[in-house]
Structure formats: structure tokens, C-alpha cells
Amino acid sequence: MSDEKLSRDDVDSLLQARAAAAKPATGSKSQSSNSGSGNQTEAAKPQSKVRVLSYDFKRPERVGKDLVRALQSLHEGLGRNFGASLSAALRSMVEVRLISVDQLTYREFIQSLEIPTCFNLLRPKPLERNWILDISPSLLYPIIDRMLGGPGASDTTVNRPLSDIELRLAGRISSLFIRELRQAWSGVIVLDIDVERVESNPQLVQIVPPNEVVIMVSFEVSMGTTRGMTNLCIPYNTIERVASKLSSSSWVGYTANAANEESKKIVSHRLDGSTTNLVVTLARSQIKTGDLFDLQVGDIISTEMDVKQFLEVEVSDSVKFMASAGSFKGRKAIKIETVVNNES
């Protein structure tokens, strides 16, 4: 490296050369601003905007839209069936409506719950880890009041954990929900769901890390003037391995598509190896109970059916064919004569 230093004159000449190089750009810019309207329009032409989306690392978007839609379809049916079961159990009109299917962190889910509450820790075998069923006290106490013979009125002043008797009654409501939950998921995976324990303070239970993504399925339960929330918390990592079954195009929702020839062939091919019951009714007759008890081996029962009349052939308790009786290669047999059209 040279030890030669720049003099004062050298520095000034370098600065002047840099300023001279910058003047044409500045001049052209001022000329374009002072030119006609056509140049002004070109200069004022807006630059292309870049769309920027915010991303919160505390709430990673792990649940796809297809999976959310599949969960909505699945749990809409669960809500209707749960409402029907509650109505039968309480002998009162109960409506259960799916409000939302959201993804959030486990910390946010816990902070959104009331204290105390009815916090059921579920074990959905064979899936790993736990699910959570939370029933709001504002809903649960009127239901318990109704189960004990009361009018089912809500008491907003009650703010205490459930007693032992109330826990047993609340367990019946949880059992109804679990039964419908098991039925709703049967098309995806067969679950054996048990209640491990019930807590009143949700902050004492941590089934996943606080920042772990969970899916919260929220239901609104209405019984007369009483309204309350029931929340199902599903950690995403527990259903990650079956998520493809939920969000795949082969998932059958509650809106059935019209069958085409290809789907009919597939169903027919799968049914080829299945077995079904085939029943042929030879005749029908009436007999007195006393005569029935006196029947002996060799007795003959007369019927009004002609020997040449066709016999009814039932397939899975439904008459499908009419046939005539006979024999084939030394064995009793029937011959299909007509096909019964049961379509109305």
C-alpha cells in the first residue's frame, strides 16, 4: 500500500467532479417536472405496490383452509346430534349451533375461559396426548337445575367449583357430547374417548406447550332464555397424521354429490365380495296359539297359497325378487322370475 496522501486540492477536485456528474440527473428531473402535461403524467405514474402480509411467529398458520372446512362440516353434524340428545335427556328444547373453528395458541385458549369452569380432560385413543371439553358454568348450572326438576333458570351469582353431586350430573352431559363426538369422527378414525379428570381451574392443566397451535371448536347452546358456550380444544399435533383424511377430496361431507358412472363402478367392485342374507318366503298362514303348542313332528299346516304362485325373495329384509321353487342338481333351489321395483 502507498503512503502517499491526498492534498487539499486533490480532495476539492474529487468533490467537484462528483458534483458535476450529479448535475445532469438533477437537471433532467427538473426538466421533466417543468415540461408539458404528458411528461407530468409519466413522472407521476405510480410505482407497483408490493403486498406485505404480517406474520406472527407466536401464532404460526399450521392449519390449512381445507382442513378447517372439513372440521366445520364434521362438527356441524355433531352439534345437531348433540342438541337432539340434550333435548331428549332434559325433556326441553335445546339448540346447539357451531359458532367457529379457529386456530390459536394453547395460552390464548386457556386465557379465554372462565374460572371456575367445567374443564374435562379427554383421552382420545389411539391418538396421542389429550383433548379438552370445556362447558361454561353459565350453561352448566341451568342444565343441572333442569336435571334436578327445576325450571332451568340461570343464576349469574353462582361462582364456585362444582360439588361432587354436580360433577356426576355434569358427567352425563359430557358423556352425551363424547358419544356424538365419537360418532362424528368414526368416518375418519375410530376413537375410544375417556374422561381422565375434571378440573375447575384450566390454568392448572397444560396438555401442550403454551405456544403450541390448537384448534378450538366453539358451540353455542341455547335452552330457553339461557345461552352458553361449549368449547372443544384439539391440539393440532394430535390429528396431524389423520389431517390428510379430513382434508382430502375423498372426504364425504354432509352435502352428497351426484353419483357418476365411475363412482358406481367403484362401489359395485367393492361390494362384489360382501355377503348378505337371502330369505325366501314359501307361504304365510295364521294359526291359533293353542294349535301351535300342540304341533308334532309330521303335522301338516295348510295355507291359501297356490303351488304355482311366485315366492317372495327378500334381500336384507327388503323384497327384491319374485321366484318359483324347484330343484337344481339334487338340491332345493329357486328361479328368479321378476324383479320387484321398490322405488316410489
Cβ atoms of 143 and 223 closer than 8 Å: yes
Q: What pLDDT is attached to residue 250?
A: 42
Q: Answer yes or no: CATH 3.40.1410.10 is held by domain 65-247.
A: no
326 SS3 class? strand
CB neighbours (10 Å) of residue 167?
Answer: 15
Cβ contacts of 63 within 8 Å, gap of 6 or more: 103, 213, 215, 236
Any idea what DSSP says for residue 187? G
Q: Dihedral angle at the C-alpha atoms of 81, 83, 86, 90, nearest 10 degrees?
A: -140
Q: What percent of the chain has pLDDT over 90?
A: 26
Strand order in the sheet with 318-328: 278-281, 311-315, 318-328, 331-339
Q: Quick check: 203 pLDDT over 50?
A: yes
Residue 64, phi then psi, degrees to nearest 5: -75, 165
Q: What is the 3-state secondary structure (H, E, C) of 207-256?
A: CCCCCCEEEEEEEEEEECCEEEEEEEEEEHHHHHHHHHHHHCCCCCCCCC
pLDDT classification of 149: cutoffs 50, 70, 90: confident
Q: Quick check: 45 pLDDT over 60?
A: no
- Which of 114, 111, 198, 218 minimizes the C-alpha distance to 158? 114
Cβ atoms of 78 and 178 closer than 8 Å: no
Q: What pLDDT is attached to residue 258?
A: 59
Name the CATH architecture for the domain at 277-339.
Roll (2.30)
Q: What pLDDT is attached to residue 307?
A: 77
pLDDT in tens, 250-283: 444 444 455 677 777 777 877 777 778 888 888 8
Between CA 83 and CA 180 the distance in angstroms is 10
All CATH 2.30.330.10 domain ranges in the chain, comma separated: 277-339
pLDDT classification of 33: cutoffs 50, 70, 90: very low
Between CA 101 and CA 231 the distance in angstroms is 10
Q: What pLDDT is attached to residue 215?
A: 92
Q: What is the pTM of this model?
A: 0.56
- Which of 78, 170, 193 minimizes the C-alpha distance to 124? 193
258 SS3 class? coil
pLDDT in tens, 236-248: 989 888 887 776 5
Residue 171 identity:
G
Q: Which residue would you say has higher pLDDT here, 67 or 152?
A: 67
All CATH 3.40.1550.10 domain ranges in the chain, comma separated: 65-247
The winner for highest mean pLDDT among 9-23, 89-103, 311-325 is 89-103
Greatest distance between any 2 Cα atoms in the chain? 139
Q: What pLDDT is attached to residue 286?
A: 84
Estimate to the nearest angstrom the gap between the alpha carbon of 127 and the chain centroid.
Answer: 16
pLDDT in tens, 70-101: 899 999 999 999 999 999 988 888 999 999 99
Between CA 170 and CA 142 the distance in angstroms is 11
